[in-house]
Chain A
Amino acid sequence: MQALYAQLLVGLINGSFYALLSLGLAVIFGMLNIINFAHGALYMMGAFVAYFLLSLGGINYWWALLIAPVIVGIFGMILERTMLQWLTGLDHLYGLLLTFGIALIVQGVFQNYFGSSGLPYAIPDQLKGGMNLGFMFLPIYRGWVVVFSLVVCIATWFLIEKTRLGAYLRAATENPTLVRAFGVNVPRMITLTYGLGVGLAALAGVLSAPINQVRPLMGADLIIVVFAVVVIGGMGSIMGSIITGFALGVIEGLTKYFYPEASNTVVFVLMVLVLLVKPTGLTGRAA
């Protein structure tokens, strides 16, 4: 049973990353109509920024949790201003191709300087050790990741679905021209939205740094699983991507316990099954 709970926990943690990443993708997709292929590379950048902050500046994990998403978010906003905004009005697929190119550049540069092997990032002192829950031993850091990402996800959901800013955002997705006529600076909002989505990816990167090592390709394979999560959940709702992300992480964890051979493929197999039954995805609207 111990092993089952351990795998469930791993599943929940992976689920947190899936949720944070697919949430960021959904936010970006909503405003920019772009599937951000660079999301995995930006997640990796988040982890690297945390690593640099610690090794070069001696800035600890807690500050990295705040600073790394801001730095990567600003980088994202520069990308949006200099490149992505020129794709307005073009086919969606150009956005996919452009961000794919950006991902190749970013990953290539990091691979040149850091090779493909991983750099260690220590768990902060306050979160070291573990707790005995009676039925299992819970490493505190892992519990922290799950709780913290859940909080971030809910906060993002609240921001977009329940606040005035979120209402502007949703209105601008429906009809940018009209929202502009009301005096809202829509292009700036788009840039900030991209920054927000990218920041979420970077935050996931910082969270993952102490668990997985900091590697240039850490986002490259993860992003494809996240795409599968997105296809399964559909990009219809913010809540949908959060729930799908966590649920798929758990299912993956369970598979690792009961049938480890399929643990790499279970998300993709689920994607096929969902597509056969409901082509639009679980919470998706027709594209």
Chain B
Amino acid sequence: MTTLTDNTLPVTPRAMRDEMIVFVVMALLLASVPFTGVYPFFVMQALCFALLACAFNLLIGYGGLLSFGHAMFLGTAGYCCAHALKVWALPPELGILVGIAAAFVLSLITGYISIRRQGIYFSMITLALSQLLYFIYLQAPFTHGEDGIQGIPQGHMFGVFDLSKPTVLYYVVLVGFLAGFLLIFRIINSPFGEVLKAIRENEPRAISLGYRTDQYKFLAFVLSGTLAGFAGALKVFVAQNASLTDVHWSMSGEVVLMTLVGGLGTIFGPVVGAFAIIAMQQYLAGFGQWVTVIQGSIFVVCVLTFRRGVIGEIAHYFRRSL
């Protein structure tokens, strides 16, 4: 059976070097954004989603687990971070930590429940769990229901960086994104990541080699959920609100789409996919519901003809791992 990510190539020292070069190019490009005329809020938003998609990709691309409920980590971290900033008046760095901690706890619980089933059952369970949370947040008092948490103070990061200045905020978000990205990069290329890939390729064989595959998948789930929470906490500073859209399951679908377009199981794919989808939403906003139709069509086209995604196709063409 063809697995979801048969496009990934083995990592050799040469591949590692390629990946590092591409990373440096990407970092430089992103760092120069404030000097070009590009609207920084668009890039910041895309960076948050790129981090979310990378975290999601860690789970599906390397663990073979399609979570259809990753929005719950994004939304939970967002709500908790926003609540910490606004009601508890915590400084930004602690607010982010609160958001990450919330996503960590949530991923421990949901991971424990969902990791027992595989394949489509795993997807359906994660989807149902995120819908459960959606209804809880709809009714819980601290989320303010349909209104969401608004007017969140941005504050000074570490007491120094004034986050209400777009350029300062941009670099803080960029550093956050790059840190998260490097962490995922490190996880993928660690012995743990290798075992994860082995499980994806052939779980019975990994079990027969003595690996407790459930523990590896659980750890991957927790790492992925926590990093998705980091993206959610960063997003609070960019959007200055936390709302139900971030928890709704259609958001989980968008994350899947971003990763699929960029290339499942490629390191840079989710970043490219996130920028492509966010740009599409930005520029097609005037078309109303047709955006949904276009997104659906992209899903269909990707699954039928373009399963490797943008980066996957490029990597395949040059026979490099990207």
Contact = CB atoms under 8 A, between A and B. Distances in A.
Chains A and B come from one and the same complex: yes
Interface of A: 35, 83, 86-87, 89-98, 100-109, 111-112, 221, 224-225, 227-228, 230-231, 261, 264-265, 268-269, 271-272, 275-276, 279-280, 287
B29 interface: no
Most chain B CB within a 10 A radius of its CB, from A92, A106, A276: A92
B143 to A, nearest CB: 15
A268 B117 contact: no
Nearest to B305: A86
Given A87-B303, A89-B2, A102-B300, A279 B117 contact: yes
Most chain A CB within a 10 A radius of its CB, from B256, B260, B292: B292
Report whether over half of chain B's contact residues are helix, strand or loop; otherwise say mixed: helix
Contacts of A271: 125, 128
29 contacts: A87-B303, A89-B2, A91-B4, A93-B66, A96-B66, A96-B68, A97-B256, A97-B260, A100-B253, A100-B296, A101-B295, A101-B299, A103-B296, A104-B296, A105-B293, A105-B296, A106-B296, A108-B293, A108-B295, A112-B293, A221-B131, A224-B131, A225-B131, A264-B138, A265-B132, A265-B135, A271-B128, A272-B132, A287-B119
Contacts of B68: 96
Contacts of A96: 66, 68, 120, 123
B3 interface: yes
Contacts of B2: 89-91
Nearest to B118: A287
Contacts of B127: 224, 227
A228 B117 CA distance: 13
Nearest to B296: A104
A104 B299 contact: yes
A21 B138 CA distance: 26
Interface size range of chain B in the complex:
35 or more
Contacts of A90: 1-2
Nearest to B4: A91
Contacts of A265: 132, 135-136
Given A89-B1, A224-B249, A227-B124, A97 B303 contact: yes
A94 B300 contact: no
Interface in B292-322: 292-293, 295-300, 302-304, 307
Contacts of B249: 224
B285 interface: no
A269 B132 contact: yes
